[in-house]
Structure 1
Amino acid sequence: MTTVGAHDERDPELPGRLLTAERDVLIPLLRGRPEGDFAAGTCCPGWTVRHVLAHCSAALSRVVENRFEEGVFSPESNDRDIAERDGWPVARIVDELERGMTEAGPVIAGAGGALDGIALGEWVHAGDVRDAWGVPGAYGGEQVQPALGLLAWLSRERGHLALHADLDDVDEPLLLGAPSGERSPARYLGDAATLVRLYSGRPLAGARYELAGTVEAELNLFG
């Protein structure tokens, strides 16, 4: 049986594929919502849907325009990016986001892996928006398999704890993290969306899963 994430080779085109595929479903969703919906709170402390989207569009614009000054993507930098877009109409933020999701892939591909986490973060934030609006598919849906492939590579590249995941809704088991002779791999049983929540530090209220050999806080890839 094939194990997703079991090989070490990076696919440089994967982040771009994930972004453009997510663009094709997320942007129509955003354009179809009334202005008031963007004031809904999200699981990101203090951020509304509008704040999340402003952060996402700003981050991708930085990638496309190669603007990486010292301290970029720190909480302070993120807050400044959001504040700069405070007076923008929502449509302008969505336009910037669409451009970034379209154009960032080749830049990320050429960065040798240094920017791959941005693509995964954008996909997770799309899940934050769906979660805030009660839209099905948050942290899962049609793009979950490429997202899991990227998550597996990032967790291994960063030397994260090794974990074998047997997923209820994905045919192949998933290997995350970097195996070590000092510690046996942890194990996860549950669905893919909950696994993504665990690795991205998202709320788990009502989630049903089994985790052995580790604790939830140890899995957070972005924490």
Structure 2
Amino acid sequence: MTAADTHPVRDPELPGKLLAAERDVLIPLLRGRPEQDFEVRTCCPGWTVRHLLAHCSAALSRVVESRYEKDVFSPEANDRDIAERSGRSLAEIVDELERGMTDAGPVIAKAGGALDGVGLGEWVHAGDVRDAWGEPGAYAGAQVGPALDLLAWITRDRGRPALHADLDDMDEPLLLGAPSGDRPPARYLGDAATLVRLHAGRPLTGTRYELAGATEAELDLFD
């Protein structure tokens, strides 16, 4: 965990490690669910679990194969990727996802930080699946520590507002974003999963937290 009094530095291997660790728990979960469960709606507007997994597998395949159209990862491109997989079986989509989670890490590591958000986004989407299915560990679980370290780096790299997070379920506080002499760090009190929800623009219904010095909209990385 990154201490609040230090500035995060990029670990090029971290996104790949996060993907591989998530793969080892997510893929067995997916393969153990009945087909009708993949028609459950997720928090991503218009997407079922199947749609979300098709998006995730397509995004990772693009990274592995270095296929980047002009509008890559735009809503329109995402819709095309999902439509292209509409005729595939669930097993084929999950197989593609597993390959992507295995092979994307080295490509992301060599990209100098430009693709680090893909690694974090895939982990967040795994939380979307758990959230849709009512599974424990959505936006938390065993990999929340590495995910928060990656979040700290990405928010700093993108120049987001500095945020000092005192986490109920972590031993150390966390500093996110880029410190500025013109603006003191905002402060967050709450659990790690809710902090992830805030930065990923996920629903906050049923959560409890305190946020001072920044708005929810300012924290949303994917807006």
TM score, norm. by length of structure 1: 0.98
Q: Could you tell me how far 1:4 is from its partner in structure 2?
A: 5.7
Q: How far 1:5 moved relative to its partner?
A: 8.6
- CA deviation after TM superposition for structure 1 residue 165, in Å: 0.2
Map 1:114-125 to 2 at 5 A: 114-125=114-125
Looking at structure 1, the residues matched to 124 and 2 of structure 2 have their Cα atoms a distance apart, in angstroms, of: 25
Structure 1 pair 4–105 and aligned structure 2 pair: CA distance change class (3 A): farther
> Which consecutive residues of structure 1, in runs of 5 or more, have no partner in the other structure?
none
Give, as a single letter, the amino acid of the residue that structure 2 aligns with 1:84. E
1:27-106 maps to which residues of 2 (within 5 A)? 27-106=27-106
CA distance in structure 2 between the aligned counterparts of 1:181 and 1:121, rounded to whole angstroms: 30
After TM superposition, list the pairs within 5 Å mapping 1:179-194 onto structure 2. 179-194=179-194
What TM-score results when the alignment is normalised by the length of structure 2?
A: 0.98
Corresponding residue of 2:136: 136
Q: CA RMSD in A?
A: 1.2
SS in 1 for 2:129: helix
Q: What is the Cα deviation at residue 6 of structure 1?
A: 2.8
CA 1:4–1:117 in 2, change beyond 3 Å: closer, same or farther? farther
How many residue pairs match? The answer is 223
Write the distance in 2 (CA, Å) between the matches of 1:7 and 1:180: 12
Give 1:9 deviation, angstroms: 2.1
Q: C-alpha separation between the residues in 2 aligned to 1:180 and 1:47?
A: 38
* Shift, 1:2, TM fit: 6.4
AA paired with 1:175? L
Equivalent pair of 1:108/1:115 in contact (CA under 8 Å): yes
The AA in structure 1 aligned to 2:97 is: L
CA distance in 2, matches of 1:29, 1:150: 24
Q: Distance in 1 between matches of 2:22 and 2:205?
A: 25
1:167 equivalent to 2:195? Answer no
What is the distance in 1 between the residues matched to 2:5 and 2:76? 34
158-167 vs 207-216, which moves further: 207-216
CA pair 5-73 structure 1, distance change in 2 beyond 3 A = farther
Kindly provide the amino acid, as one letter, of the partner of residue 122 in structure 1.
Answer: E
Tell me which amino acid in the other structure corresponds to 2:219: L
**For the Cα contact (< 8 Å) 1:52–1:125, is it kept in 2?**
yes
Q: Distance in 1 between matches of 2:167 and 2:93?
A: 35
Residues in 2 aligned to 1:176 and 1:6: alpha-carbon distance in whole angstroms: 10
Q: Which moved more, 1:55-64 or 1:1-10?
A: 1-10
Contact 1:13–1:106 (8 Å) recurs in 2: yes
Letter of the 1:184 counterpart:
P
SS at structure 1 position matched to 2:189: strand
Cα distance in 1 between the residues matched to 2:144 and 2:86: 31
Report the 3-state secondary structure (helix = DSSP H, G, I; strand = E; otherwise coil) of the residue aligned with 2:148: helix
Structure 1: how far apart are the matches of 2:140 and 2:171?
A: 14
**What's the secondary structure of 1:189's corresponding residue?**
strand
Letter in structure 1 aligned against 2:126: A
Deviation of 1:199 after TM superposition, in Å, equals: 0.2
The 5-angstrom pairing of residues 203-214 of structure 1 reads 203-214=203-214
Measured in 2, the distance between the counterparts of 1:149 and 1:48 equals 29
1:136-172 CA-to-partner distances (Å, cap 9, x unmatched) read 0000000000000000000000000000000001111
3-state SS, counterpart of residue 81 of structure 1:
helix
1:7 CA displacement: 2.7
For 1:24-56, what per-residue CA distance to the aligned partner results, in whole angstroms no more than 9, with x for missing partners?
000000000000000000000000000000000
